Structure 1
Amino acid sequence: MRLLALLAAALLLTLCAPASTALSPDPAFRQQQLRFERVRAAYHLHQTSVHQLLRRNGIRPERLELFVRAFKVGRRVEVWGREQNAGQFVLLRTYRLAGTSGTLGPKRRSGDRQIPEGFYHIDRFNPDSEYHLSLGLDYPNAADRRHAGPDPGGDIFLHGSDVTIGCLPITDAGIRELYVLAVEARAAGQTAIAVHIFPFDMTAENLARRVGSPHLAFWQNLVSGYQHFEDSHQLPQVSVNEQGTYVVH
């Protein structure tokens, strides 16, 4: 019985960082990124204005914590920030999603052109992207792997340009500013920048309009994580159980 309990615990895979985490600054990360020409150009354009934006919102750049939220309907990417483990997130920027592909619903296989939906993190910084600059997501996560086919695909990015086959493009100008924000957060010690992707605002009204969708049960599983942030402006803790269902703690 003890072995079964341990196995069950192992299957409960944490996706989002705890609400309160001790973060260790890593200024060397910024210096490493600044070795790349496109990152230096982005800093030249945006470092001063980014720091001013943060200070206007009561955030010291060296204590920055970021959160990104994207919506397919309405085509927007929101960037929220706060001081590390200090109160509520505030909306810093909203970028237009400059291109979309696929339809509403989660990504389930390579080549389906779908933009994923669910709870993710930035896990890669690409300073020399084919699409100017890009920030990689940890797709497929545990929930995706449980429900996807044998080849769920991968390489999902927030990036520049206005074209996509499953990624989130916000134009070169948009990604330059967001990249600076993300590097600053990483240099401040935030190793896991959460990215939540939704088909639309997860309200009861919007779900009721799509009651006949084959994705309804999946979307209902996203509601508690969406609503937690709407109510508190703090990140939920999200895990995945053995059935591949998101669980909000």
Structure 2
Amino acid sequence: MIAAVGAALSGCLALDDVAQTPQLSSTIKSEMARKGTTPESPVLVRIFKQESELEIWKADKSGNFALFKTYPMCRWSGKLGPKTKIGDRQAPEGFYAVSASQLNPKSQYYVSFNLGYPNRLEQALGYTGEALMVHGACSSSGCYAMTDKGIGEIYAIVAKALDSGQPSFQVQAYPFRMTAQNMAAHKGDPNMPFWRTLKEGYDAFTITRRPPKVSACGGRYVFNRNFTAGEPDSPVASCPPSTDMLDATLSARLQTEESKVDAALAADLPASSTMSAYVDGGMHKSFRAILQQAGPKTMAAKVSGTKYPVSRPEAALADPFGQ
């Protein structure tokens, strides 16, 4: 089975297929047309650590977003939970806005885009760090690393949307797919209050299929609120008066999702024994198969034209969710 996976991936990851300057391929354009979107339409990115996946969402003619493509992630570092200080090897979790100035077509990791960590809320909370990227090569020290071919496609897609008038695209970075079941599996984690806040934004997007309006006050993210006197001046001061941007039906659906989490967390079920088992980040199971079969040197050559080795391969093989 591993041999079959390795053979299939080695074909799709051939370095000859990676353009020096990423451009939208005819295949991607045709796929967009089949899915009712265009290269010029707005884009949104979602990242999931536990699943080691990055999603590209594209807007259709109605303005609603639909999943366009899911990319397996080659490497991320740290553990589940937000980044709080420089050098902690944590990949960020939260909501970020990426503009054209944050794209780097000449990255040392092929191409990349900067998430913009620390964002305004994180700065106010005293979090430190810089140059947290989504990039090529299978090496991470706080970043999200894709294959060269994967980041090439992603870069071309987001660059085209920005070049076509989208001021910035939203990146939603999560510890895992934020179902009530996954929340319950990690109920003993000290990051749970923060993750419950992230889930509010996750649910808002899932229900509306529109990027949530993200604000910050009271030391947390606040979603889809219209503030009477304009956006809060301080991300850590108490939230000023506001009104809900969503209608009563959508707000009720969000309350239902919150109730599901309350029930799941209250259930007399043990938390997952793997919740804190990460040695140092993870890797998608498809790449884990290549790493196990071929070793880190061969894998590094398969996934990237740069000279960066797979970061901490032993830790990647220890990914409790990479089975």
Equivalent residue for 2:308?
Answer: none
- 2:192 counterpart of 1:222: no
Equivalent residue for 1:208?
Answer: 184
User: Which amino acid letter does the alignment assign opposite residue 111 of structure 1?
Assistant: G
Deviations 1:128-161 (A, max 9, x none): 1010000111110122113234xx0011111111
Equivalent residue for 2:97?
Answer: 121
Equivalent residue for 2:160?
Answer: 184
- 2:247 counterpart of 1:247: no
TM alignment of 1:94-133, pairs within 5 A = 94-123=70-99, 124-133=102-111
Equivalent residue for 2:134?
Answer: 158
Deviations 1:19-60 (A, max 9, x none): xxxxxxxxxxxxxxxxxx832xx22xx432222122111123
- 2:59 counterpart of 1:59: no
CA contact (8 A) 2:43 2:158 kept: yes
Once residues 71 and 61 of structure 1 are traced to their aligned partners in structure 2, the CA distance between those partners, rounded to angstroms, is: 24
Secondary structure of 1:105 counterpart: coil
Once residues 67 and 96 of structure 1 are traced to their aligned partners in structure 2, the CA distance between those partners, rounded to angstroms, is: 17
CA contact (8 A) 2:60 2:66 kept: no
TM alignment of 1:18-57, pairs within 5 A = 38-39=20-21, 42-43=22-23, 46-57=24-35
Which structure is larger by alpha-carbon Rg, 1 or 2? 2
TM alignment of 1:3-18, pairs within 5 A = none
C-alpha displacement of 1:211: 1.9
Equivalent residue for 1:28?
Answer: none
Q: Which runs of 5+ in 1 are unaligned?
A: 1-36
Calculate percent identity across the aligned residue pairs. 37
Equivalent residue for 2:174?
Answer: 198
Once residues 80 and 132 of structure 2 are traced to their aligned partners in structure 1, the CA distance between those partners, rounded to angstroms, is: 16
CA contact (8 A) 1:38 1:127 kept: no
Deviations 1:181-207 (A, max 9, x none): 011101110121110000011122222
Equivalent residue for 1:80?
Answer: 57
Equivalent residue for 2:209?
Answer: 233
Query: When the two structures are superposed, what TM-score results if normalisation uses the length of structure 2?
Result: 0.61
Secondary structure of 1:87 counterpart: coil
Candidates 47, 71, 75, aligned match of 2:48: 71
C-alpha displacement of 1:66: 0.2
Once residues 89 and 134 of structure 2 are traced to their aligned partners in structure 1, the CA distance between those partners, rounded to angstroms, is: 15
Once residues 230 and 59 of structure 1 are traced to their aligned partners in structure 2, the CA distance between those partners, rounded to angstroms, is: 18
CA contact (8 A) 2:48 2:54 kept: yes
Corresponding residue pairs, total: 204
Equivalent residue for 1:22?
Answer: none
CA contact (8 A) 2:47 2:53 kept: yes
Once residues 211 and 159 of structure 2 are traced to their aligned partners in structure 1, the CA distance between those partners, rounded to angstroms, is: 20
Once residues 135 and 216 of structure 1 are traced to their aligned partners in structure 2, the CA distance between those partners, rounded to angstroms, is: 28
CA contact (8 A) 1:142 1:244 kept: no
CA contact (8 A) 2:39 2:157 kept: no
CA RMSD of aligned residues (A): 1.5
Once residues 181 and 140 of structure 1 are traced to their aligned partners in structure 2, the CA distance between those partners, rounded to angstroms, is: 24
Which aligned segments of 4 or more residues in structure 1 are displaced greater than 6 angstroms? none
Once residues 164 and 81 of structure 1 are traced to their aligned partners in structure 2, the CA distance between those partners, rounded to angstroms, is: 27
Equivalent residue for 2:148?
Answer: 172
Secondary structure of 1:128 counterpart: strand
C-alpha displacement of 1:87: 3.2
C-alpha displacement of 1:98: 0.5
